[in-house]
Each structure stands twice: as C-alpha cells, then as structure tokens.
Chains A and B, each alone.
Chain A
C-alpha cells in the first residue's frame, strides 16, 4: 500500500516538472488529456469497480462541471481555476439528487438509467437558453498571457485534481468505507442484513465519484476555450471511461491509471495516422475483447482487488 502512495505522488511530481523543460505544446496537451482521463476513470471506478454500480453516463458529470464553470465565467467573470471545484460540487449535487432513486436499480437497469441521464443532460444543455443553447459557451483566457503558460497552468491544475482523486481512491481501499463498498458489490442484500448502511455508503461513493469528473470538466472549459453540448456530453466520453477502468482492472486503484494512459496514447496514435471512424471500430473491438477475454483487466489479473 505505501509503495502505491509513493508511486502516485512521485509520478505526479515528475509529471508536474515536464513544462519546465519547454517541451512542444503538444506534449503538454497529451499529458493534460491523460491526466484528465485518469481522473475520470478512477472516479468512475469508485462507483463502478469498488461498489459494483457501473454508470454508463459518467461523462454527464464532466459536462455538468464544464457548463458550470462556463456559466460562472460568463455571468460572474470568475476564473475557472477558482470555479472548477464548484463544477465538481454541482456535479455531485446533481448526482445526489438523481442518485437516490437510481441506486436502487439492478445493475443493468442502473446502466440504462445512467446512460439516459447523460442524454437528457445533453438535450437540455443544447436547447436551454441559460446554457447557451445551440451556440455553446466561451471561456477565453485573458489576453496578454501566452498560450504555453496558460496550458501549463491548467495542466498543473489538472494534475492536482488527478492526484486528489487517486489519493481518495487509495484511502478508500484501506478504509471501512472501502470494505463496506466491497460488501455491497459482492452481495448487497447480505451486506444490508449484516448491518452495512448500504444507502449511505452508496450515496457517498456516488458523490465522490462525480465530484472529480465535474472538477475536471470545469478545467476543460478554460483549456478548450469553447464548449457545446455535443462536445462535453458526448457518449464516447462515458464509454471510454468504462473501457479504461475495465481494461486496466476495475476495482483496483492503479488499473484505471494504466487503462487511461494506454487508451489515450493509442487514441492519439490512431487519429494521427488513420481516421476516426477506424478508431471507433478499433475501440469497439477492444471493448469486446476485454469484456470477453480480460474481464478482470490487466491489473486485476496480477494485482490485488480493493477491499
């Protein structure tokens, strides 16, 4: 356990030093995206892998966070560096509101319900005037700052969010919360009978699992300068997040880290060399292969499961 904490902190510090070497902007970008997906996959894992409730619409919380900071920027002029945590809070609050009735559903119904939630949010964001409707929202960094500086600062912020997510995961794994979640995953009825406060624990896992994607989304708005409903609520975000966790090893802490890194790099290489429709075909094939032949993931095979 302690080695994992040291590894995570150490790797993050190293990653944070990269911008100092003045590498090509594209490398900073790549690392930013990797950190973002590590955050989201690990967060998904808290609910999906640790607790056994696989959300098929987790990208929605990313979108909620992105829109939150965009709207706060538009209406109050607040910098997303400050409001990203607010994005996380709004996402978690929303999750809590819809989570209570949804967490009572069976696994497959939970999946469909969460997927539907994602689409509902996308439709609302696309058609509601408050969220900019079909026009999207802007969050442009103030002029006078050079692009490299802004991107590097955002990258560091994202690393901070990522680190927080991983530390939370590491803590949960060793805590009573973690044991409780594992009990829910492996047999919820029995756990309830044995006195585990299943509802409370599930809600807690849900809110932790949605806070971090919300914060990540909040940073993404500033990074990309422009968001719209198509982009930030895209279904592929939700699916990629599941694939990353499962590929790496759902239920482990480092599984999502490995899965996210591998898939982001793979995705870049493919988009650089072949077309994006081939990417869909390939990712679909990977998802099938992983589910059929490697359901415990790369690390699930060799590592220890949570709890």
Chain B
C-alpha cells in the first residue's frame, strides 16, 4: 500500500487553480490546453504490454498537436507508472484527479488494474475511455462513465479458435485440451469462455487450473499438463507467464497439436524472447496492421517511422481511446464530462479498431478479434478469413496444424 499526499499539494493546488483559470486562448473552448492523464504498467510483469500503451498515447498526442490540437487547444499528456499493481494504480489515478486535475482519464493495462481504476473514475464522476480492460465484470457495475475500445469481451477471446475447430472435418478435430489460466480478472473471464466453447465443440477439458500471477516456476503446472497428454494446450494469461510455460513445455518435453495462448503471442517480444520455441504457437489479438479499418495502414507507417519497430495491437486500442475523446470533444465543442459522455453513447465512431457504437454498458458493439500464429519468426493472421464488421478479406495464412513435435 503506497502512501500519498504532500504538503506541497497546497502549492500545487494554488498553481493548478491559477493555470486552469488562465487567459482564453482557444476560441471554442476557452482553454489553451487539454490534459489527458493516466497510469500504465511501465515496470513489473505487465510492462511488456504497458509500454505499448505509453507509445500509443504519446504518438497520438504528438500527431494531434501537429494538427493544431483539439479545437485549437494543445494536448498535454501526463503518464505515471503503476508498477503493474492495482493499488498503486488507484493511488496514481486519485492523484491525477485530485492533484493534477486532468481533464480526461486514459486507461491502464490489464483488467485487474482497470477494474479498481474504473471504480475511482466512477466515484469522482469522471469520463473513462479505456483500451486496457475488457473483462465483463467491469461493465456490470453500473458505471455510466466507462467506455472500452478493445472490441472484444473477455469470454470471447477463444471464439476464433473454436470456430476454426468446428470448421474442420470431424475426424481431424482435436478432442481434448488442458486449460490453465492466470489468477486474475480478465484471464478468469477468458477461461470461462474457453469452458463454454469447448463444451459446445465437444472438446474435453482434462485440466482446469489457475496459477499465481507471481508464478516463477511452471514445472508443477506443466507436469500436470504432461500427465494429461492433451491434443491442445490452452492458456489464458499474459506474456511473462506464457513465455515461462512455453519454455517449461520444452524442458519437460511436452508436445501437443495446438498450443494456444490468449495473450502473449501477438506481442513482438514473444518471438524475440522465445526464438525458435515460438514457432507455431497461436494467440489472439485485437488488431493487426492488415485489418481493413480506417487509418490502420497510416498508423502502422507512423508508428514504424517514430519508433522504428513493429506495431502491436495495444498501440491501436490506446490510439482508439483518444480518437473517441477527440471526436466527442469536437462533437459537443466543450469539455463537459456529462455532455461528452452522452455524445459517446449516441453516436457512431470510425476508429482505427473499426467503426462502432457503444452499448449501454460501455463496451463497443463490434467484435474484431483475430487469431495469429508464429511461423518462422513472423506473426501471421490465421482466423477469421474475413473481418466481422465489413466482411472484407483479411490477408492471412492457413493454420499449421498439427503443431510439429520437437
């Protein structure tokens, strides 16, 4: 538990009040600056993805200011490190709201952190458009202020996989699987989805076990997987634990026809860290450069130019959350939280993650998850063949199945 507050806060408060009451710069808004603030995981186990949010936010703000800002006001970004800890994140957001007095909140990464932060936003009646937490329970708490840009809900993450399984001729389909999952909010929801869809597809789950977020040795877990000898190894978790599990699979000489991780494989670091071990692993992602949505190609190029590396879906969902804010602010021509919230509820948004409206609970009305597979050091889309919104073809390859044994 971190302690917060400082006597300097009194001075900060005075300064803050003074700055906000500054001279009218932008005609439409009466403000020279709009401040977006958030905390993301820059250190700790979630940092592998958290850093992409930071890059996505920074890139968007840079581009926005190049265009002249939003309605003439420059955009400023304040980002803290939540150290992959929910309680730390809660402290940061309390500070962002009460001391930094940001105009709009940006989301953190992982549902486990987004959930309590959403409660903080709700408490202070602040708008919260986020792209880091899609676990359904977050949207069932009657929070009118939260909106999500991840275009997928937790228990739908395995849908592509099981759709593909159902598309195979009956005698080729995998019949058994082991399910392991990270003991946190989103992964639990993802696991729920796996259970339901496995039952529908006639796949028997031989193992169903959660593991600790601080697991540093996967040997006992993988021993159980090995003992079960499944056709498919399914894991709902994140990059760090996924890497650990894959390494241990190799160590204990466990092979299966399908190795699927709900998150982890889409991250470029997956291939970089695992090298040859990443081959033929499957994963689920929210976005790929090849999707037929507005601005996808441009974003990919921009990102490459600025950061000189391959883009990743977290950048896109982060980008999309700021797109929502901008479009809504322009729509109501004010910074009033309630007006903007109502605007978001009643309009369509053309985002880089797809054209969408927002449902009553804050989730987007479209679902655009893709499954990818690592083949020879590259990530390729394997399912679905056509995107689910515009029904356009997505460039991809056939799944390599069964996975060649090592």
**Are chains A and B touching in the complex at the 8 Å CB cutoff?**
yes
Say yes or no: is B188 at the interface (Cβ < 8 Å to chain A).
yes
Say yes or no: is A147 at the interface (Cβ < 8 Å to chain B).
yes
Q: Contact between A265 and B7 (Cβ–Cβ < 8 Å)?
A: yes
Q: Which residues of B contact A267 (CB under 8 A)?
A: 3
Q: Which chain A residues (259-285) contact chain B, with CB distance < 8 Å?
A: 264-265, 267-269, 271-272, 276
Q: Which residues of B contact A127 (CB under 8 A)?
A: 183, 212
Q: Which residues of B contact A264 (CB under 8 A)?
A: 3
Q: Contact between A268 and B119 (Cβ–Cβ < 8 Å)?
A: no
In whole angstroms, what is the CA distance A269 to B210 when docked?
A: 40
Q: Contact between A26 and B6 (Cβ–Cβ < 8 Å)?
A: yes
CB distance from B15 to the nearest CB of A (A): 12
Q: Contact between B188 and A30 (Cβ–Cβ < 8 Å)?
A: no
Q: Contact between A26 and B85 (Cβ–Cβ < 8 Å)?
A: no
In whole angstroms, what is the CA distance A160 to B124 when docked?
A: 26
Proximity bits, B126-156, A CB within 8 Å = 1, else 0: 0000000000010001000000000000000
Q: Using a Cβ–Cβ cut-off of 8 Å, how many residues does chain A contribute to the interface with B?
A: 39
Say yes or no: is B23 at the interface (Cβ < 8 Å to chain A).
no
A226-B119, A231-B85, A234-B1 known; A24 vs B183 contact (CB < 8 Å): no
**Interface majority SS (helix, strand, loop, mixed), chain A:** helix
Q: Which residues of A contact B7 (CB under 8 A)?
A: 30, 265, 268-269
Q: Contact between B86 and A228 (Cβ–Cβ < 8 Å)?
A: yes
Proximity bits, A226-258, B CB within 8 Å = 1, else 0: 111011101011000000000000000000000
Q: Which residues of A contact B207 (CB under 8 A)?
A: none
Q: Contact between B4 and A29 (Cβ–Cβ < 8 Å)?
A: yes
Say yes or no: is A94 at the interface (Cβ < 8 Å to chain B).
no
User: Please, which residue of chain A has its CB at the minimum distance from the CB of B84?
Assistant: A230
Proximity bits, A9-34, B CB within 8 Å = 1, else 0: 00000000000000111110110010
Say yes or no: is B13 at the interface (Cβ < 8 Å to chain A).
yes
A136-B86, A230-B87, A231-B85 known; A33 vs B3 contact (CB < 8 Å): yes
Say yes or no: is A303 at the interface (Cβ < 8 Å to chain B).
no
Q: Contact between B86 and A230 (Cβ–Cβ < 8 Å)?
A: yes
B123 CB contact (under 8 Å) in A126, A225, A269: A225
CB distance from B40 to the nearest CB of A (A): 15
A134-B184, A225-B123 known; A231 vs B86 contact (CB < 8 Å): yes
Q: Which residues of B contact A225 (CB under 8 A)?
A: 90, 116, 119-120, 123
User: Please, which residue of chain B has its CB at the minimum distance from the CB of A275?
Assistant: B81
Q: Which residues of A contact B95 (CB under 8 A)?
A: 26
Say yes or no: is B179 at the interface (Cβ < 8 Å to chain A).
no
Q: Which residues of A contact B182 (CB under 8 A)?
A: 134
Proximity bits, A117-152, B CB within 8 Å = 1, else 0: 000000000110000011110101100000100000
Q: Contact between A26 and B1 (Cβ–Cβ < 8 Å)?
A: no
Q: Contact between B4 and A27 (Cβ–Cβ < 8 Å)?
A: no
A134-B112, A136-B86, A228-B86 known; A237 vs B1 contact (CB < 8 Å): yes
Q: Contact between B1 and A134 (Cβ–Cβ < 8 Å)?
A: no
A33 CB contact (under 8 Å) in B5, B83, B183: B5
Q: Which residues of A contact B87 (CB under 8 A)?
A: 224, 226-228, 230-231
In whole angstroms, what is the CA distance A269 to B5 when docked?
A: 8
In whole angstroms, what is the CA distance A136 to B135 when docked?
A: 14
Proximity bits, B90-129, A CB within 8 Å = 1, else 0: 1000110011000000000000100110011011100000
CB distance from B139 to the nearest CB of A (A): 14
Q: Which residues of A contact B359 (CB under 8 A)?
A: none
In whole angstroms, what is the CA distance A226 to B119 when docked?
A: 8
A26-B98, A134-B184, A134-B213 known; A268 vs B120 contact (CB < 8 Å): no
Chosen A-B contacts, 29 in total, with CB atoms closer than 8 Å, are A23-B10, A24-B98, A26-B4, A26-B6, A26-B13, A26-B95, A27-B9, A29-B4, A30-B4, A33-B3, A127-B183, A134-B112, A134-B182, A134-B213, A135-B115, A135-B184, A135-B185, A135-B188, A136-B116, A140-B119, A225-B119, A225-B123, A226-B115, A236-B1, A267-B3, A268-B6, A268-B7, A271-B3, A276-B2
In the A-B complex, the 9 residue pairs with the closest CB atoms: A30-B5, A231-B87, A226-B116, A134-B183, A26-B9, A268-B6, A24-B13, A272-B6, A29-B5
Add 17 more A-B contacts to A272-B8, A276-B2 (CB < 8 A): A23-B10, A24-B9, A26-B9, A30-B7, A33-B3, A33-B5, A136-B112, A138-B119, A140-B119, A140-B141, A226-B90, A226-B115, A230-B86, A234-B1, A268-B6, A271-B2, A271-B4
Instruction: Please list the residues of chain A having a beta carbon within 8 angstroms of any beta carbon in chain B.
Output: 23-27, 29-30, 33, 37, 126-127, 133-136, 138, 140-141, 147, 220, 224-228, 230-232, 234, 236-237, 264-265, 267-269, 271-272, 276
